[in-house]
């Protein structure tokens, strides 16, 4: 009687890794704990069923029934648990199943070529390949794949159909009319299919990556355009305020004459009205001059008001000339983005403080914006990254503008503070 212990154990090992890899890639609508509690008992029952069929009916019958006894039940189970019940789910399901089945075919071929007859090559190769595959998937594929699913909502249908067709092709080619080990003449076709499958998935992921890059470029372009518009409005408003203040200062003499006339005639009511009018005009055009540069004044005046409203201490130490090398709009966008990031970070902190320093060094200007933060900050290519939708483009805009102006920048987290520094 043939000893199939290593083969049977390797099949059980493969089933376990198939489930673990799928759970690591797809997004459930429930918590990881609840998802595991629901799925594991079902998977155990299905695994026992398939192992029983394997022991009773043999590997050929098991391979022919696997779609009914394992694939379809797990498909239904994870579809019920899935967050995205569309092409994204079906593509993920087909991707994992195809990858696992691809490894099974590859290790079958290796074992058959070895010709030892005890399945030891099959067992050892699966014992090594599946953990490596899971580690690679979790370390390098999981995060960008989830990003693909969040940002790309269309096109998954055709990808899932392609993946399903290749999976069915592989399943039929290796299991019908008999298992491939009994059809050595078909090995060239099976090997060709096993080569085509990774090529197909590499092509799909390249397309997804290109779509993500186009999405990021378009989003960053729109975001930067909006920031430029806001910065321009703030600078214009600042210049208008400064003009209004000069006009108010010029007209103050006339206001004082009118006010004095009312007081001499004991017309207290009109005197109070005139005084209220002067006070209102002064408050409407209040403008703190931090330095001689209009762009910096406009941005800092705006954020100073915002921070006062939010109860955030804004410490400013700035020594800059009126004329600087970078354009006013670019400078306003850089400072605005940096201060927006600082505001978002300190809103939930107990220590609500943002510190800004700016000074001139030779023909360059230097900025440092420092704020406390809570939690952890992850970096990618020296830029802080975030998983929040609609966020993360500010730092990219800062980096782009500074690079275009031949400047230097750094984002660091040190001693509980997040620090942005740049030299332009």
Average pLDDT, integer, range 386-396: 61
Burial of residue 106 (CB within 10 Å: 0-12, 13-18, 19+) is middle
**3-class SS letters over 214-238:** HHHHHHHHHHHHHHHHHHHHHHHHH
- H or E element in which residue 32 lies: helix 32-57
As beta bridge partners, residue 325 has none
Residue 382: DSSP 8-state: T
Q: Which element (helix H / strand E) includes 208?
A: helix 187-264
pTM of the prediction?
Answer: 0.57
Q: What is the model's pLDDT at position 390?
A: 47
Confidence of residue 227 (pLDDT cuts 50, 70, 90): low
State the virtual CA torsion across 310, 311, 315, 318 in degrees, nearest 10.
30
Pick from 9-13, 53-57, 278-282: least confident: 278-282
Q: Where exactly are the structural domains of the chain?
A: 5-182, 222-423
**Across 48-171, where does the E strand assignment appear?**
none
Inform me whether the pLDDT recorded for 371 exceeds 90: yes
The Cα angle at residue 16 between residues 12 and 20, in degrees rounded to 5: 170
For residue 147, what is the enclosing H or E element?
helix 142-151
CB 423 within 8 A of CB 404: no
How many Cβ atoms sit within 10 Å of the Cβ of residue 395? 20
Is residue 178 helix, strand or coil?
coil
Cross-strand partners of 116: none
Per-residue b or e along 267-281, where b marks 16 or more CB atoms closer than 10 Å to that residue's CB: eeeebeebeeebeeb
> Taking the CA of residue 234 as centre, how many other CA atoms within 13 Å lie in the half-sphere pointing to its CB?
25
Question: What does the alpha-carbon distance between residue 164 and residue 96 come to, in Å, rounded to a whole number?
Answer: 11
Helix (H) or strand (E) holding 390: none
Residue 365: name the closest of 316, 405, 419, 314 by CA: 405
pLDDT of residue 117: 81
* 84-88, 234-238, 382-386: range with lowest mean pLDDT: 234-238
Local confidence band at 382 (pLDDT 50, 70, 90 cut-offs): confident
Q: Say what the pLDDT of residue 59 is.
A: 77
Is residue 413 within 8 Å of residue 393, measured between CB atoms?
no
Mean pLDDT of 241-265: 61
| Token couple for 417 | 């503070």
Give the pLDDT confidence score for residue 1 in this predicted structure: 45
| Answer CATH for 222-423 from 3.40.50.300, 3.30.870.10, 3.30.565.10, 3.40.50.1580 | 3.30.565.10
Whole-number mean pLDDT of the chain? 81
Question: Rounded CA gap, 299 and 309, in Å?
Answer: 16
Helices 294-310 and 328-346 cross at an angle (nearest 10°) of 20
pLDDT over 90 at 369, yes or no: yes
Question: 158-162, 221-225, 335-339: lowest mean pLDDT where?
Answer: 221-225
3-class SS at 383?
strand
Flag the least confident range among 69-83, 178-192, 231-245.
Answer: 231-245
Omega before 282 within 30 of 0, i.e. cis: no
CA gap 20, 12 in Å, rounded: 13
pLDDT in tens, 175-204: 888 888 888 888 898 899 889 999 999 988
- Residue 300: which of 339, 244, 243, 246 has the closest Cα? 339
pLDDT at position 245 is 55
3-state SS, residue 155: coil
pLDDT at 48: 87
Q: Is the dihedral of CA 134, 139, 144, 146 positive or negative?
A: positive
Separation of alpha carbons 293 and 285, rounded Å: 18
Query: 138 pLDDT band (50/70/90 cuts)?
Result: confident
Q: Name the residue with tokens 């579809």.
A: 79
pLDDT surpasses 70 at 242: no
386 φ, ψ to 5°?
-140, 155
């Amino acid at each position: 009687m043939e000893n199939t212990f290593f083969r049977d154990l390797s099949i059980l090992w493969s089933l376990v890794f198939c489930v673990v890899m799928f759970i690591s890639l797809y997004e459930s609508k429930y918590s990881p704990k609840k998802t595991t509690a629901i799925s594991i008992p079902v998977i155990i029952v299905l695994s026992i069923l398939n192992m029983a069929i394997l022991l009773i009916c043999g590997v050929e019958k098991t391979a022919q029934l696997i779609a009914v006894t394992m694939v379809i039940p797990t498909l239904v189970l994870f579809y019920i648990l899935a967050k995205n019940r569309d092409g994204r789910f079906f593509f993920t399901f087909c991707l994992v199943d195809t990858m696992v089945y691809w490894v099974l075919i590859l290790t079958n071929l290796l074992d058959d070529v070895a010709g030892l007859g005890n399945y030891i090559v099959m067992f050892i190769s699966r014992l090594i390949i599946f953990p490596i595959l899971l580690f690679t998937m979790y370390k390098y594929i999981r995060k960008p794949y989830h990003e693909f699913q969040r940002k790309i909502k269309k096109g998954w249908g055709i990808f899932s159909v392609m993946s399903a067709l290749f999976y069915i092709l592989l399943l039929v080619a290796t299991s019908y009319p008999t298992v491939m080990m009994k059809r050595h003449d078909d090995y060239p076709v099976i090997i060709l299919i096993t080569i085509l499958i990774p090529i197909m998935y590499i092509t799909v992921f390249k397309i997804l990556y290109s779509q993500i890059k186009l999405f990021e470029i378009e989003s960053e372009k729109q975001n930067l355009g909006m920031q430029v518009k806001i910065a321009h409005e703030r600078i214009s408003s600042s210049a208008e305020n400064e003009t209004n203040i000069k006009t108010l200062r010029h007209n103050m003499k006339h206001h004082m004459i009118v006010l004095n006339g009312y007081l001499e005639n004991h017309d207290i009511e009109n005197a109070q009205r005139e005084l209220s009018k002067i006070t209102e005009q002064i408050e409407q055009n209040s403008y703190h001059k931090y330095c001689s540069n209009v762009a910096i004044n406009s941005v800092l005046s705006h954020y100073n008001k915002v921070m006062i409203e939010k109860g955030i201490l804004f410490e400013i130490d700035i020594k800059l000339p009126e004329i600087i090398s970078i354009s006013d709009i670019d400078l306003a966008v850089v400072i605005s983005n940096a201060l927006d990031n600082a505001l978002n970070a300190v809103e939930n902190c107990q220590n609500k403080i943002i510190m800004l320093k700016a000074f001139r060094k030779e023909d360059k200007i230097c900025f440092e914006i420092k704020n406390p933060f809570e939690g952890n900050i992850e970096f990618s290519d020296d830029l802080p990254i975030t998983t929040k939708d609609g966020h993360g483009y500010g730092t990219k805009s800062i980096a782009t503008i500074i690079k275009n102006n031949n400047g230097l920048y750094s984002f660091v987290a040190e001693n509980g503070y997040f620090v942005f520094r740049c030299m332009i």
